A and B are shown apart, each in its own frame.
Chain A
Amino acid sequence: MDLNFTPEEEAFRAQVRAFLHDKLPARIANKVKAGQRLSKADQDEWHAILNERGWYANHWPQEWGGPGWSAVQKFIFDHECALAGGPRIVPFGVNMLGPVLIKYGNEAQKRYWLPRILSGADWWCQGYSEPGAGSDLAAIKTTAVREGDHYIVNGQKTWTTQGQHANMIFCLVRTSKEARQQESISFLLVDMNSPGVELRPIRTLDGDREVNEVFFTDVKVPVENLVGEENKGWTYAKYLLTYERTGIAGVGLSVAALEKLKLIANKVHKNGRPLAQDPLFATRMAKVQIDLENMKTTNLRVIAAVAGGGVPGAESSMLKIRGTEIRQEILSLIRRAMGPHALPFIEEAQYEGYADEPVGPKEAATAAANYFNYRKLSIFGGSNEIQKNIISKMILGL
């Protein structure tokens, strides 16, 4: 029993820190720390920096350009990135589609698409959810009908994050009416610039426009864009949803958010003393900090189990539930810390370059909007209630 990282792992941490110190643009880190919204250019810039170092596709095997990191190294990398204000890697191409192609794609697909993910030539988005298929994902209605060398796709996807930047979308589509729901789904790669694809932004409650609806009307998709076998898409979809989820707790992000909360709580005053010394507020902070310290060890235990040959199946559901609850609690405390100054909503202040006098503490500008935005954490990637269903079935055997 030893909670310390090995000297090699500590050396790796130092290497990551040095890299972040040298290569992470301060302009981008400042935006991340301020909770401001990142542009496509910001994200492309960061992806290219990581790719140059060989660290972008850090979940991929070395054969395809991954760095060959252990789960512990990935944990350390995520942790250090979060503390330094590195943007979250946009996961759809590199962390979601990439591993599916590597496991289930044919040689031609791997050779064509994987390098394009690395180079940023393609920006991928995810076509999973539909208006009638959220938690019940297998209920999708979008169809793909084979006609000669093409599939003709009709239907609608929704909650397509950053679809406005994407030129490609990977979709779950229904390719058979005969079989059981799960046995009639296929995994299809669709060019967003095809005739018949229409994208409409959805404005979320924080005023942001990061998610979209995507409509497909008689969209022609070449059959070589089918991944794996027809009607086996559910297997691939599930693989994608459970692949490498040891980072799902977002411990590093919560640690960074907690640091920010402490700074704010020491700056904002109540009854003539820092909010951090207000008994009720300090109690809330202490509780979430303890929960986070426990979570970090829980996360490392799961990683160690994976390193020992285990598979992070349902355990990742535990990490997801508790990890997102903790992060949401911290974001809610940041909002509370702002007091009345959480109310003003200056949309321009959510973006880089806003130079007007802040209303209240400067952190107030994004506090409420971020809090509302991150309510998504317990909804996406399988809602926390769905995760509890998975735990009941897979761990508890109920």
Chain B
Amino acid sequence: MNFTHTEDRRMLADSLNRFVTEQYGSEFRNQTAYGEQGFSPERWQQFAELGAIGALFSEADGGFGGSGFDIAVVFESLGRGLVTEPFLGALMVGRALAAAGSEAQKARLAELIEGSTVAALAHDEPANHYELSRVSTLAERQGDGWVISGAKSVVLFGDQAGLLLVSARTSGALDDEAGISLFLVPGDAAGLQCRGYGRIDGGHAAELVFDQVRLGADALLGAEGQGLATLEHAVGYGVLALCAEAVGAMDVAKQATLEYLQTRKQFGKPIGSFQALQHRMADLLLEVEQARSAVINAAAAIDGDDRIARERALSAAKFTIGRIGTLVAEESIQLHGGIGMTWELPLSHYAKRLVMVDHQLGDEDHHLARYMALGRD
């Protein structure tokens, strides 16, 4: 039993934390996160050069990390700075390529790791609510290739992605686990319509409509109709990443709130001297440590072979993070009072991100139900 990171991982975390502190101040962050692109291509390149993307993948896949704890360390640092660059898409698409790709498809991992291609997972649809197997977008064989029709919703940076990983149904009914296939689609494919927009917590997303998008045979990732396992695998890494990101953001929100309690004076003394607020802060501390433990459990489980144990740990973590992230956000705002409501205060942006993490890849309720369902087998 050992709860310290390896030397390599600590060095990576240190250099990332330093980079985020120095190059990712809140003013810069908000300008880019709420700007025209929702991220900074320049910073994205710098992150790539620092090795922050490569750390998400194993050496065999061209990276130099790839374990659950490597991913957790990177995303925790990103969370501390509310980084909006398209890491999550790179991670999920990259892990899907690594898990199920042909040699030619895997070769594209290099573009992701170099940061030259923005990748996005296009799975959620206008009518679904986090379900992995509910897919209505259709892919039909046509000659040697495929034709995709349907719509995908809230695709992160879908307006700027050069590479989309799209889930589509090649057989079966709407909710069938079998019959889902995954396709690699260029962002500029003919017939692909895109409506991009900003997100409330910064960064961009897009609604995508596939109007008879024609693809070659080599667009299919993995076996036809058996994409769900790969999708679950990729989304699992995304879940871990979001959880770790949230813990980084929680630490900052907690520290900011604590400092405010120590300095803000009312009734002639620091408001942190009032027991009603002390106990709320103590609760917050407890909960953040429970959240950190949940991420450790998930990071330790994700590299394991036992699917049920792995997926339960991931759902337990996402449930925990959903609940605690929202709590930290709401309590931080409340303990700050009026100033916590302002755009100007960096804290408010951490609060938004923490709440919105619960809206990505399944919320608290979704993962609690999933945790229970997985335990019934």
Q: Which residues of A are at the interface with B, using a C-beta cutoff of 8 A?
A: 1-6, 9, 72, 277, 282-283, 286-287, 290-291, 293-298, 300-301, 304-305, 318, 321-322, 385, 387-389, 391-392, 395-398
Pairwise interchain contact B282-A392, C-beta atoms closer than 8 A: yes
B294 within 8 A of A: yes
Q: Which of these, A293, A305, A321, A389, contacts B286 with CB under 8 Å?
A: A321
Per the bound structure, the CA–CA distance linking A350 and B135 in Å amounts to 56
Pairwise interchain contact B282-A1, C-beta atoms closer than 8 A: no
The interface residues of chain A lying within 8 Å CB-to-CB of B3 are 1, 300-301, 304-305
The interface residues of chain A lying within 8 Å CB-to-CB of B282 are 321, 387-388, 391-392, 395-396
Pairwise interchain contact A304-B297, C-beta atoms closer than 8 A: no
The interface residues of chain A lying within 8 Å CB-to-CB of B333 are none
B72 to A, closest residue via Cβ? A1
Q: Which of these, A287, A295, A388, contacts B293 with CB under 8 Å?
A: A295
The interface residues of chain B lying within 8 Å CB-to-CB of A395 are 282, 285
The interface residues of chain A lying within 8 Å CB-to-CB of B273 are 398
The interface residues of chain B lying within 8 Å CB-to-CB of A294 are 290-291, 293-294, 297, 316, 320
Min distance, Cβ A12 to any Cβ of chain B, angstroms: 12
Min distance, Cβ A314 to any Cβ of chain B, angstroms: 10
Min distance, Cβ B64 to any Cβ of chain A, angstroms: 17
B266 within 8 A of A: no
Per the bound structure, the CA–CA distance linking A297 and B6 in Å amounts to 19
Main secondary structure of the interface of B (DSSP, over half): helix
Per the bound structure, the CA–CA distance linking A72 and B299 in Å amounts to 22
Pairwise interchain contact B1-A290, C-beta atoms closer than 8 A: no
- Indicate whether A283 sits within 8 Å of B2 (C-beta atoms), given known contacts A392-B281, A398-B273: no
Pairwise interchain contact B297-A4, C-beta atoms closer than 8 A: no
Additional A-B contacts beyond A3-B297, A392-B282 (8; CB < 8 A): A1-B9, A1-B296, A290-B371, A305-B3, A389-B278, A392-B275, A396-B278, A398-B273
Per-residue interface assignment for chain B, residues 355 to 371, with 1 indicating a CB less than 8 Å from any chain A CB and 0 otherwise: 00000000000001001
B44 within 8 A of A: no
Min distance, Cβ B210 to any Cβ of chain A, angstroms: 36
Per the bound structure, the CA–CA distance linking A4 and B304 in Å amounts to 13
Can you spell out 15 A-B residue pairs with CB atoms less than 8 angstroms apart?
A: A1-B300, A2-B2, A3-B297, A4-B1, A72-B1, A290-B316, A290-B368, A291-B290, A296-B293, A298-B293, A395-B285, A397-B258, A398-B262, A398-B273, A398-B281
Q: Which of these, B2, B278, B297, contacts A398 with CB under 8 Å?
A: B278
Pairwise interchain contact B258-A298, C-beta atoms closer than 8 A: no
Per the bound structure, the CA–CA distance linking A294 and B318 in Å amounts to 12
Pairwise interchain contact B1-A287, C-beta atoms closer than 8 A: no
- Indicate whether A286 sits within 8 Å of B372 (C-beta atoms), given known contacts A294-B320, A297-B296, A389-B275: yes
Pairwise interchain contact A1-B286, C-beta atoms closer than 8 A: no
B368 to A, closest residue via Cβ? A286
Pairwise interchain contact A388-B279, C-beta atoms closer than 8 A: yes
Q: Which of these, A9, A283, A293, A391, contacts B285 with CB under 8 Å?
A: A391
The interface residues of chain B lying within 8 Å CB-to-CB of A277 are 376
Per the bound structure, the CA–CA distance linking A395 and B282 in Å amounts to 9
Q: Which residues of B are at the interface with A, using a C-beta cutoff of 8 A?
A: 1-6, 9, 69, 258, 261-262, 270, 272-273, 275, 278-279, 281-283, 285-286, 289-294, 296-297, 299-300, 313, 316, 319-320, 368, 371-372, 375-376
Per the bound structure, the CA–CA distance linking A82 and B276 in Å amounts to 36
Pairwise interchain contact A286-B371, C-beta atoms closer than 8 A: yes
The interface residues of chain A lying within 8 Å CB-to-CB of B371 are 286, 290
Per the bound structure, the CA–CA distance linking A117 and B62 in Å amounts to 63
The interface residues of chain B lying within 8 Å CB-to-CB of A389 are 275, 278-279
Min distance, Cβ B289 to any Cβ of chain A, angstroms: 5
Per the bound structure, the CA–CA distance linking A392 and B273 in Å amounts to 9
The interface residues of chain A lying within 8 Å CB-to-CB of B278 are 388-389, 392, 396, 398
Per the bound structure, the CA–CA distance linking A395 and B313 in Å amounts to 29
Min distance, Cβ B78 to any Cβ of chain A, angstroms: 18
Min distance, Cβ A242 to any Cβ of chain B, angstroms: 17
The interface residues of chain B lying within 8 Å CB-to-CB of A305 are 3
Q: Which of these, A4, A290, A322, contacts B319 with CB under 8 Å?
A: A290
The interface residues of chain A lying within 8 Å CB-to-CB of B294 are 290, 293-294, 297
Q: Which of these, A3, A4, A287, contacts B368 with CB under 8 Å?
A: A287
The interface residues of chain B lying within 8 Å CB-to-CB of A283 are 368, 372
Per the bound structure, the CA–CA distance linking A260 and B316 in Å amounts to 21
- Indicate whether A301 sits within 8 Å of B293 (C-beta atoms), given known contacts A1-B2, A2-B2, A286-B375: yes
Pairwise interchain contact B1-A322, C-beta atoms closer than 8 A: no
Min distance, Cβ B341 to any Cβ of chain A, angstroms: 23
A395 to B, closest residue via Cβ? B285
Q: Which of these, A295, A296, A304, A388, contacts B2 with CB under 8 Å?
A: A304
- Indicate whether A282 sits within 8 Å of B2 (C-beta atoms), given known contacts A294-B297, A389-B278: no
Min distance, Cβ A254 to any Cβ of chain B, angstroms: 14
Per the bound structure, the CA–CA distance linking A4 and B368 in Å amounts to 25
The interface residues of chain B lying within 8 Å CB-to-CB of A4 are 1
Min distance, Cβ B319 to any Cβ of chain A, angstroms: 6
Min distance, Cβ A135 to any Cβ of chain B, angstroms: 12
Pairwise interchain contact A2-B1, C-beta atoms closer than 8 A: yes
- Indicate whether A298 sits within 8 Å of B289 (C-beta atoms), given known contacts A290-B371, A392-B281, A398-B273: yes
- Indicate whether A322 sits within 8 Å of B261 (C-beta atoms), given known contacts A3-B1, A290-B320, A304-B3: no
Per the bound structure, the CA–CA distance linking A4 and B281 in Å amounts to 32
Pairwise interchain contact B299-A298, C-beta atoms closer than 8 A: no
The interface residues of chain B lying within 8 Å CB-to-CB of A385 are 279
The interface residues of chain A lying within 8 Å CB-to-CB of B1 are 2-6, 9, 72, 300, 304
- Indicate whether A1 sits within 8 Å of B281 (C-beta atoms), given known contacts A72-B1, A297-B297, A397-B262: no
The interface residues of chain A lying within 8 Å CB-to-CB of B275 are 389, 392
Per the bound structure, the CA–CA distance linking A282 and B290 in Å amounts to 21
Q: Which of these, A3, A9, A304, A398, contacts B300 with CB under 8 Å?
A: A3
Question: Nearest 3 CB-CB pairs, A to B?
Answer: A297-B293, A392-B278, A388-B282
Min distance, Cβ A274 to any Cβ of chain B, angstroms: 11
- Indicate whether A398 sits within 8 Å of B272 (C-beta atoms), given known contacts A5-B1, A283-B372: yes
B375 to A, closest residue via Cβ? A286
- Indicate whether A396 sits within 8 Å of B285 (C-beta atoms), given known contacts A9-B1, A294-B290, A385-B279: yes
Min distance, Cβ B265 to any Cβ of chain A, angstroms: 13
B291 to A, closest residue via Cβ? A294
Min distance, Cβ B329 to any Cβ of chain A, angstroms: 19
The interface residues of chain A lying within 8 Å CB-to-CB of B319 are 290
The interface residues of chain A lying within 8 Å CB-to-CB of B316 are 290, 293-294
Pairwise interchain contact B296-A396, C-beta atoms closer than 8 A: no
Pairwise interchain contact A1-B5, C-beta atoms closer than 8 A: yes
Per the bound structure, the CA–CA distance linking A385 and B280 in Å amounts to 11
Per the bound structure, the CA–CA distance linking A295 and B294 in Å amounts to 9
